[in-house]
Structure 1
Amino acid sequence: MFLALSVNANNIINEILNEFNIADTKKNRAILEDIYKKIDNLDVKYFKDTISKKTENVFIIKNELNEIEAPKFLLYLAMTESRFLNKATSHMKAGGMWQFMPKTARAFGLEVNKYIDERRDPYLSTDIAFKYLKFLNSKFDKWYISLMAYNCGDARMQKLMKRYKSDDFYTLLSSSKTPIETRNFIKRIIKLTMISKNEEVKEFLTNLEPKFGLEKIKVSGGTKLSNIAKSIGLSTNELKEYNMHVTKGFVPNSKDSYHFYIPANKLNLYALSYVSDLIKGERTLEKEYNIHKVANGETLDEIAKKWGVDVNLIVKKNNLKIDESLDGKELKIPLNKVIEATKNKEYKVKSKDTLSKISKKLDKDIKENLALNDLKNKKLIAGDAIVIP
């Protein structure tokens, strides 16, 4: 048993009544007391283990909850639905951390097709989940009903309340017409919320930190996840864990650009690898650009100077015509500035060079950048270019 019913237990039940908008009646309180009495040490272990395994997704949700000032117990909706797994799929084909059906996901603007399934994007799906929950709560005005509607559908929830002429918690949970899955669903969320209010668990949650966090990177159409993984020293399977939304492991060629997520502690290595590929000609910036909105009277020369690019590149990238008015236009600015900024950061290997000799010459430990320069299993060859961060 979690805890004997005590003053603390009664306080927790009072908080649940208030947070979930449940009326404080004898019957409603009896349901909550029954849920509380059945909590045991295995439940607490499951709670801690599940959260510890998926700290990145947990913090994505917690940060969003803080930003929009939504109830903290919505974290446990995702825990109930999927255990915070982006790859989760139900027998009904609901998918992702928030278990959206394809039709619902598309209705809220998520892309779901053969190549991209944004139900499995932890950031985009979390944003849509909270918008959907906000819609449900504006409709029902009680969180326990909104959560039940999330599971069985708002139309079905409305029919149940109409049938019983009541939205009472006890009535809805006691009715055989309410799907058993929905009754268990709301009880499960309440149970996890109760566990989170235990003092020992509160301390666990307070001390919890994400392993590394995730960073969003922009990539061109056709980019393979395996190539990004190699550039930052991860296995493809490991990087796939954070990019389940790219279902085939690459961005379709039909897209100008899209995004992957990489561990935050790999961002610098990715940036350096990106620059290295530019120098070696293995990557182009053809689809990489900044957007510049032209001010009234602003000239191409002024824009080119501001961004440090050649005027002709701007003209070519934007298919501009002679004497064309630019006022108010949004121009694509090629990022050749990146190439120019990094060309001076390469070292050309000379005959009889070793890593130790190069490190001494440059006063930098080149061994720290073996992955960046793909030197782990290669000998130095005169003429090779080594990127120096």
Structure 2
Amino acid sequence: ALAADAPETVDPAAATVVEEAAEAVGEEPPALTIEEAQAVPPEKDAATLLEDAFAAYEEAQTAFEREDLEGALTKLDEAYGALLRMSLPAESPLLQEKQDLRLLIARSIQKISATRTAPASSVNGSIPLVENQWVLREIKSFQAAERKAFEDAYKRSGQYRDMILEELRRESMPEQLAWIPLIESAFKPRALSRARALGMWQFIRSTGYRYGLKQDKYVDERMDPVKATRAALQYMIELHDMFGDWTTAIAAYNCGEAAVQRVIRAQKVDYFDSFWDIFANLPFETARHVPRFIATLLIVGDPAKYGFELPEPDPPIAFETIRINAAVKLATLSQNLGIETAVLVNLNSELRHDSTPNYAYDLRVPSGYGERCLASIVTLPQYIPPDVVTDRYTVRRGDTLGAIARRYRTSVNTIKRLNNLRSNLIRIGQVLRLPSRGGASAPPVSAAPAAKPGETITYTVRNGDNLFQIAKAYGTTVDRIKSANNLSSDIIAIGQRLVIEVGKTP
């Protein structure tokens, strides 16, 4: 047949879309021209929809940068619509990308919403120092009941302020923000609040994860001054973008952006000029937070005016960083190096058990100690940190929480918290969860069954055991136990069964 006589092709996917739409309303598919049928877009696969969503999101960011808020929202709606049309199996590698983009879209919408009610402002603008009644009240508190705490925090600030100022300058942010840790944590890297906010910048767990702070069995980077500072500045930049001024951003840093936005939306007018417009409607602790910060700026800016003679700030500790790949206790390492344990602990405050992890880790040591430290670590035994809870204890006649706490080298409050106890009352037969870090008062090996020299027994390793203790208890040597059990190192595990030749030495 000639080409002119050949039937024209129609995209089968386009035709299917038309048929399905007709079936949905109980009608026969209408007759379409070829051009009309081909104009109906075919269904896209998930990967293509994800690409479309990312493209729309990027266009939204471009629109936002040129202050086209409506255009940005339209593109964000388009991006989210593409995500909704995606159908993915549970094992699809695209699921994480879809979730990440959904979060980015949500943040962008929140940012646009905040921008509509906040005045535009430069990120490096200064913070206005007003002396109103609320600020003066906090100044009086610092002058009286909180005076010593204020002066101690100011003294401690010297260890970290140079680092914080360097990070602020890198981000072109107001240097006044370097004083936020004074009211957040008194410049204590391991400060823990009643709300479980941790570290010098007081991150709760979820916000720490949100800004990339690692939290695992060994490390909690919320307690690392450098890493937490960088995360805090990124959070504050985001808050400043939302609210347009630093005082409101600082309030949101304390109670969360959602709480501040709720207060703004509840106003009778649809805009606000400054933090003080919403001050009275904020939660008490948050409302007090900003006046305390401004009071701090006023005092450190002119101590004599407010009756202070501030102490000399502590100098920062000069350090170097070495890469290690061994779990060691900082106390043992510092003893080998001939330095105070507190020095290594302060430099590495993110280490939860004051021990390095069992993976590659950048350890901070005092300047000049790097090579000595690397040589020393090779000779040290591996440290295995305790799990939070591994032991269970059944209460016996005559037991008290105090006696149990002393036996397991822990505290009454720790036992009460682990077992949700409201009082110190316990009953015979009650099973308590106990922190394994203490261990029982009696050495585990001493509780083992007696055995005569020449006998061969099987011993089950208990919490707190080591090969030296076991060998001593059974009159043998570490080498004999290792040889009898084909052990290549001194490391043993709880529950491991060891063959012991009692009283046998080389």
Instruction: Specify the TM-score bucket, using the shorter chain as the normaliser.
Output: 0.5 to 0.7
Matches within 5 A, 1:127-206: 127-164=230-267, 165=269, 166-167=271-272, 168-175=274-281, 178-198=282-302, 200=304
**Which of the residues 123, 127, 131 maps onto 1:20?**
127
Conserved 8 A contact 1:21-1:142: no
State the partner residue of 2:440: none
Whole-Å Cα distance in 1 between the matches of residues 204 and 277 of structure 2? 28
Fraction of identical pairs, as percent = 25
Conserved 8 A contact 1:56-1:210: yes
Whole-Å Cα distance in 2 between the matches of residues 72 and 128 of structure 1? 16
SS at match of 1:261: strand
Residue 382 of structure 2 is aligned to residue 272 of structure 1: no
SS at match of 2:289: helix
Whole-Å Cα distance in 1 between the matches of residues 326 and 174 of structure 2? 38
Shift of residue 36, structure 1, vs aligned partner: 7.8
Shift of residue 114, structure 1, vs aligned partner: 2.4
State the partner residue of 1:96: 199
- Can you list the C-alpha shifts for 1:333-353, whole angstroms capped at 9, x where unaligned? xxxxxxxxxxxxxxxxxxxxx
Shift of residue 60, structure 1, vs aligned partner: 2.2
Shift of residue 82, structure 1, vs aligned partner: 0.4
State the partner residue of 2:347: 242
- Can you list the C-alpha shifts for 1:223-279, whole angstroms capped at 9, x where unaligned? 3323431243223344223322110222332x2x1122233xxx213423534x59x
Conserved 8 A contact 1:133-1:150: yes
Greater relative CO, 1 or 2 (CA 8 Å, sep 6+): 1
State the partner residue of 2:209: 106
State the partner residue of 2:172: 69
Shift of residue 31, structure 1, vs aligned partner: 4.2
- Can you list the C-alpha shifts for 1:76-117, whole angstroms capped at 9, x where unaligned? 211111001111011111100000011111111111122210
User: TM-score, normalized by length of structure 1?
Assistant: 0.57
Letter aligned with residue 87 of structure 1: R
Q: Mark the CA change 1:101 to 1:211 in structure 2 (over 3 Å): closer, same or farther.
A: closer
Whole-Å Cα distance in 1 between the matches of residues 314 and 340 of structure 2? 24
Conserved 8 A contact 1:51-1:58: no
Shift of residue 220, structure 1, vs aligned partner: 1.1
User: Which structure is larger by alpha-carbon Rg, 1 or 2?
Assistant: 2
Structure 2: where are the runs of 5+ without partners?
1-124, 381-506
Shift of residue 146, structure 1, vs aligned partner: 0.3
State the partner residue of 1:228: 333
Residue 379 of structure 2 is aligned to residue 282 of structure 1: yes
Conserved 8 A contact 2:198-2:223: yes
Residue 155 of structure 2 is aligned to residue 52 of structure 1: yes
Whole-Å Cα distance in 2 between the matches of residues 194 and 115 of structure 1? 40
Q: Mark the CA change 1:207 to 1:65 in structure 2 (over 3 Å): closer, same or farther.
A: farther
Whole-Å Cα distance in 1 between the matches of residues 254 and 351 of structure 2? 26
Shift of residue 61, structure 1, vs aligned partner: 1.6
Matches within 5 A, 1:227-376: 227-253=332-358, 255=359, 257-263=360-366, 267-275=367-375, 277=376, 282=379
SS at match of 2:363: strand
Conserved 8 A contact 2:156-2:314: no
Aligned length: 252
Whole-Å Cα distance in 2 between the matches of residues 252 and 121 of structure 1? 15
Letter aligned with residue 153 of structure 2: T
- Can you list the C-alpha shifts for 1:146-199, whole angstroms capped at 9, x where unaligned? 000001110111111110134343331222xx1000011111101001112206
State the partner residue of 1:38: 140
Letter aligned with residue 282 of structure 1: T
Whole-Å Cα distance in 2 between the matches of residues 130 and 270 of structure 1? 30
SS at match of 1:262: strand
User: TM-score, normalized by length of structure 2?
Assistant: 0.45
Q: Mark the CA change 1:247 to 1:273 in structure 2 (over 3 Å): closer, same or farther.
A: closer
Q: Mark the CA change 1:109 to 1:40 in structure 2 (over 3 Å): closer, same or farther.
A: closer
Conserved 8 A contact 2:224-2:350: yes
State the partner residue of 1:308: none
Whole-Å Cα distance in 2 between the matches of residues 134 and 149 of structure 1? 11
Whole-Å Cα distance in 1 between the matches of residues 317 and 218 of structure 2? 27
SS at match of 1:126: helix
Conserved 8 A contact 1:44-1:195: no
SS at match of 2:276: helix
Whole-Å Cα distance in 2 between the matches of residues 40 and 130 of structure 1? 26
Conserved 8 A contact 1:118-1:245: yes
Whole-Å Cα distance in 2 between the matches of residues 270 and 226 of structure 1? 16
